[in-house]
Amino acid sequence: MMNRTKCLEALAARLTDDEIVVATYSAASEWVEMSDRALNYYSFGAMGLASSHGIGLALARPERRVIVLDGDGSLLMNLGTLVTVGAAAPTNLVHMVFCNGSYEANGGHPLPNPKVDFCAMAKAGGIANVRRIETLEEFEAQLPAILSEEGPIFVEMVIEQGPMGPRKYDDMYKEERRQRMREALGV
Amino acid sequence: MNAPVNATGVLHGAPIIKAVKEAGVSHVLSVPDIHTAGGLLTPIRNDPDFKLIRTCKEDEAFGIAAGLTYGAKRALILIQYTGFLYSMNAIRAIACEHNMPMCMMIGLLSKEVGVPPQESKKFGLRIIEPLLDVMGIERHYIDADEDVAVVAPAIRRAYENKHPVAMLVGRKPV
């Protein structure tokens, strides 16, 4: 079982200025403190839609890798996305789901079934490149492939419970960040 | 503003599709709706000018459209009114609170011909326009070919001014 902060630090160390990172809820709360990049996109709006935002970005900007930092509670609110990703098949999309079996951002209550098999569901949804990672060493070893292989790629990250708050959503979603991203993308 | 009554007339899909293209839409995001499946979705599916993204539930389409917008692509969200109701939280957050140009084309399945949506016998149809109004979403009613002129300007305006727009398809397009 991994520590999410350590995983995000390993990811941040590998990224260039070119990738788009779509982060949501708990992962976003850590990412916003750790990595202040122009191409950070904080999934605003309804819970569960981070990967949907990611699909749109990946289809619109095929020259850039789009990495979605999702949570297991969030994904459960939009399971159909695994089928939509499988069908739309953006080759530049990485859907990374941090799984700790709980709605961490909502007080740490457990998922209806904390042992749900997301990799099996992603495969069944049509995503061929699926990985389940349980140790930091394994994650660091697989990162080069995750950041270069043809997608869509689904990564189930097995993590321990992280901090439950506070979360600075107002700062995360502020217009200045969104404007900076639009400028970085030339929109 | 309530939808006008139009007991006669016909609504063709082709001019609607032409108008959507003229407005620069490249992507159509849809869950099939029997009201628009034949007249709009089928020709869109077969049109090489559009990239059709099929979603499993309607709220996904709003997330995808937001991402496309940040990537400078224009999208049309083609759904049934029940899907609009299902997506209310995504619309509230993405379209309204974050001022995103979400362009919705909403099929009013089973609306009685010549009856304004707010006077329909169906509860679900009666509440659509009031809900759009209370959310401050610009709306247009497309019930016959002469109404199609609003489509391209409405989509362009949504993208230029960063706001959502709903185009309600009253009559089943042919």
Tell me which of 3.40.225.10, 3.40.50.300, 3.40.50.720, 3.40.50.970 is the CATH number of domain A4-184: 3.40.50.970
pLDDT at A130 over 90: yes
- The average pLDDT across A32-51 equals 91
pLDDT at B28 over 60: yes
C-alpha distance from A38 to closest chain B C-alpha (Å): 13
What is the CATH number for B72?
3.40.50.970
The angle at the Cα of B52, spanning B46 to B53, to the nearest 5 degrees, equals: 150
Token pair belonging to B57: 């539930």
Give the per-residue pLDDT at A171.
85
Give the per-residue pLDDT at B23.
98
Residue B86 inside a domain? The answer is yes
Say whether residue A39 is in contact with chain B using an 8 A CB cutoff: no
- What is the C-alpha to C-alpha distance for residues B59 and B65, in angstroms, rounded to an integer? 10
- What is the C-alpha to C-alpha distance for residues B106 and B109, in angstroms, rounded to an integer? 9
Is B71–A53 a contact, with Cβ atoms under 8 angstroms apart?
no
- What is the C-alpha to C-alpha distance for residues A20 and A15, in angstroms, rounded to an integer? 10
pLDDT tier for residue B81 given thresholds of 50, 70 and 90: very high
pLDDT at A164 over 80: no
What's the pTM value of the predicted model, to 2 decimals? 0.96
Domain spans, chain A: 4-184
Segment of A35-39, A130-134, A177-181, B6-10 carrying the highest mean pLDDT: A130-134
pLDDT at B73 over 80: yes
% pLDDT > 70, chain B: 96
Give the per-residue pLDDT at B4.
66
More confident residue, A45 or B76: B76
Optimal mutation site among A19, A43, A59, A179, interface B, most CBs of chain B within 10 A? A59
What chain A residue is nearest to B65 in terms of C-alpha separation?
A56
Token pair belonging to B134: 């209370």
Q: How many residues does chain A have?
A: 187
> To the nearest whole number, what is the mean pLDDT of chain A?
94
pLDDT tier for residue B53 given thresholds of 50, 70 and 90: very high
Q: How far is CA B173 from CA B27, B35, B144, in A?
A: 20, 8, 9
- The average pLDDT across A12-18 equals 96
In this complex, the residue of A84, A186, A187 whose CB is nearest that of residue B60 is A84
Q: How far is CA A173 from CA A28, A63, A168, B4, B126, in A?
A: 10, 25, 9, 40, 35
% pLDDT > 90, chain A: 84
C-alpha distance from B134 to closest chain A C-alpha (Å): 19
Count of the separate structural domains present in chain B: 1
Give the per-residue pLDDT at B97.
94
A90 vs B contacts (CB less than 8 Å): none
Residue B75 inside a domain? The answer is yes
Residue B3 inside a domain? The answer is no
State the complex-level ipTM.
Answer: 0.96
Say whether residue B121 is in contact with chain A using an 8 A CB cutoff: no
pLDDT at B5 over 80: no
Is B54–A54 a contact, with Cβ atoms under 8 angstroms apart?
no
- The average pLDDT across B97-117 equals 96
Range in A128-132, A175-179, B76-80 with the lowest mean pLDDT = A175-179
Structural domain of B131: 13-169
Say whether residue B32 is in contact with chain A using an 8 A CB cutoff: no
A76: number of CA atoms within 13 Å, CB side? 17
Optimal mutation site among B26, B60, B100, B160, interface A, most CBs of chain A within 10 A? B60
Residue B7 inside a domain? The answer is no
- The average pLDDT across A44-62 equals 94
Residue B1 inside a domain? The answer is no
Number of Cβ within 10 Å of residue B48's Cβ equals 5
C-alpha distance from A48 to closest chain B C-alpha (Å): 9
**Residue A97 is inside which H or E element, if any?**
strand A93-99
For chains A and B, what is the number of CB pairs under 8 angstroms? 111
